[in-house]
Amino acid sequence: QITLKESGPALVKPTQTLTLTCTFSGFSLTTSGVGVGWIRQSPGQALEWLALIYWDDDKRYSPSLRSRLTITKDTSRNQVVLTMTNMDLVDTGTYYCVHEIYSDSCFDSWGPGTRVTVSS
Amino acid sequence: DIQMTQSPSSLSASVGDRVTITCRASQSINSYLVGSYLNWYQQKPGKAPYLLISATSRLQSGVPSRFSGSGSGTDFTLTISSLRPEDSATYFCQQSYTFPRTFGQGTKVEIK
């Protein structure tokens, strides 16, 4: 059974850097075809895909946020970390960690999400 | 980026009704390998989205058979054949044809 869980600060100040960690189980990020990504949702808004990292360390980013995002993996700890620099009020929302199999190209498992509020 | 447009943005229907949600992509998301890279998710308040259908019409394990998906190219449909109270939720389409992955704005389904 695949599980993912997000962790990180609930509150950050504008201009600060957000660091979120996804800790997962039930699969390995060394297995061919496996990817872990991040998606966010602003209050009452649609879903926005942010970044994805694959088993072979291929990394993909949202073009509109590319300059602010970094995604990395630690396969020994079964973790994926997302950093987002220069946080702004509009970055407030719920951040989800997701599992993808490259060949299926769908997000078949989601973490429960972690709520991040940007406020001074 | 491929824009995904859903309609309607919300609907209200009675238990037992047939419900159809449409998703249109700004360009074709067909692949000769797997058909169309179009997925559907269900989200209930306060919960993470849940994958219902992948690759246009592939029902995920455990998803009731009253849910079905169809379409190709740029036009896709999610159908609930007989609406049940537990289907009250917001539904999102999503394309995986290319990066960045993009979602529709969502369709909120309410029970009359």
Give the pair of three-digit tokens for residue A10: 């609930």
Instruction: Give the pLDDT confidence score for residue A15 in this predicted structure.
Output: 97
Residue pair A52/B109 in contact (Cβ under 8 Å)? The answer is no
What b/e readout covers B83-108, taking b as 16+ CB neighbours within 10 angstroms?
beeebbbbbbbbbbbeebbbbbbbbe
Does residue B8 register a pLDDT over 90?
yes
Instruction: Give the pLDDT confidence score for residue B36 in this predicted structure.
Output: 85
Average pLDDT, chain B: 95
Instruction: Give the pLDDT confidence score for residue A88 in this predicted structure.
Output: 97
A vs B: CB pairs below 8 A: 57
Residues of B in contact with A106 (CB under 8 A): 39, 51, 54-55, 94, 96
Instruction: Give the pLDDT confidence score for residue A20 in this predicted structure.
Output: 98
> What is the rounded CA–CA span in Å between residue B55 and residue A108?
12
Mean pLDDT of B18-36: 89
Q: What's the DSSP call for residue B49?
A: -
* Percent of chain A with pLDDT strictly greater than 90: 92
> What is the rounded CA–CA span in Å between residue A72 and residue A36?
10
Does residue B67 register a pLDDT over 80?
yes
Nearest-by-Cβ selection for A63 from B49, B55, B100: B100
- B103 and A48 within 8 Å at the Cβ level: the answer is yes
Chain A: closest CA distance from residue B98 (Å): 10
- B49 and A112 within 8 Å at the Cβ level: the answer is no
Best of B7, B50, B101 to mutate (most A CBs within 10 Å, chain A): B101
With bands split at pLDDT 50, 70 and 90, how would you rate the model's confidence at B34?
low
Nearest CA in chain A to B47: A112
Does residue B33 register a pLDDT over 80?
no
Chain A: closest CA distance from residue B54 (Å): 6
- A1-13 pLDDT per residue, tens: 999 999 999 999 9
> What is the rounded CA–CA span in Å between residue A101 and residue B98?
14
- B101 and A49 within 8 Å at the Cβ level: the answer is yes
Which residues of A touch chain B, with CB atoms under 8 Å apart? 46-49, 52, 60-64, 96, 104-113
Chain A: closest CA distance from residue B96 (Å): 6
Give chain A's residues under pLDDT 50: none
- B94 and A48 within 8 Å at the Cβ level: the answer is no
Chain B: closest CA distance from residue A61 (Å): 7
**Which of A48, A97, A45 is closest to A71 using CA atoms?**
A97
